[in-house]
Amino acid sequence: MSNISNKLLRLDRYLASVTDYSRSDAKKLIKAGEITVDGLVVRDPAQGVAANAELTLNGHSLRAASSRYIMLNKPQGYICAARDRRHQTVLDLMDEDNPERLHVAGRLDIDTTGLVLLTDDGNWSHAVTSPQRKCWKRYYVETAEVINEQAQLHFSRGVFLKDDKARTLPAELEILGERVARLKICEGRYHQVKRMFGAEGNLVTRLHREAIGDIVLDADLAEGEYRYLTAAEVASVQK
């Protein structure tokens, strides 16, 4: 492995992370002497191994899978969760190995469409979702009532949402038509966009996320389709 780290990892956890084996199956393989670490057989599942250690399983070299960064064009009717008893999830739209290891960086409501980011990199996901990092999310919004021009001022100052004790962070509202707007926010409160317009006495009838930071939903992706992010798109979140 190319990136050397001094951090020691439990052998059974490491083995489960780079294969399809469960932790319990990984322990059985280790105890059976089928795993070598730097050329030596190791039978203790709890033994610590360096992140740059050379592991083999039955003579085959193992490598930690590289992190995945994916954009998906979410249709209506899907929820942003790993599993749900009543609804299909965004993971049901994907043909990926070990999809359960992916999580959504910035969820959308079941009836909201557009850009969803999925990853198995927790630090990257935090950079997307943490309000302190100010990774702006841009939405296209349609409403039932005419959008009051005063909403621009109110949103720029932050508004109080029902049952929340603090104002929203400043947001940018661009009115495109009587009932059409674009909104940029850097938070992800529960139903935030809908509740912000609700605080103005208006109802959101359509909500579509167009961009997260510098990552813009690919116009070539039909609803339900996805692709891996480019290296530049991945790096844009950390800048």
By annotation, the residues acting in catalysis are: 109
What is d(CA 191, CA 208) in angstroms, rounded to the nearest whole number? 13
What is d(CA 101, CA 22) in angstroms, rounded to the nearest whole number? 13
Structure tokens at 51: 């992140």
Structure tokens at 45: 């599942």
Residue 14 three-state SS: helix
What is d(CA 144, CA 161) in angstroms, rounded to the nearest whole number? 19
Residue 154 three-state SS: helix
Residue 99 three-state SS: helix
Closest CA to 81 of 109, 120, 122: 109
Report residue 121: phi and psi, to 5°. Answer: -105, 105
Burial of 142 (0-12, 13-18, 19+ CB in 10 A): middle
Report residue 124: phi and psi, to 5°. Answer: -65, -45
What is d(CA 203, CA 197) in angstroms, rounded to the nearest whole number? 6
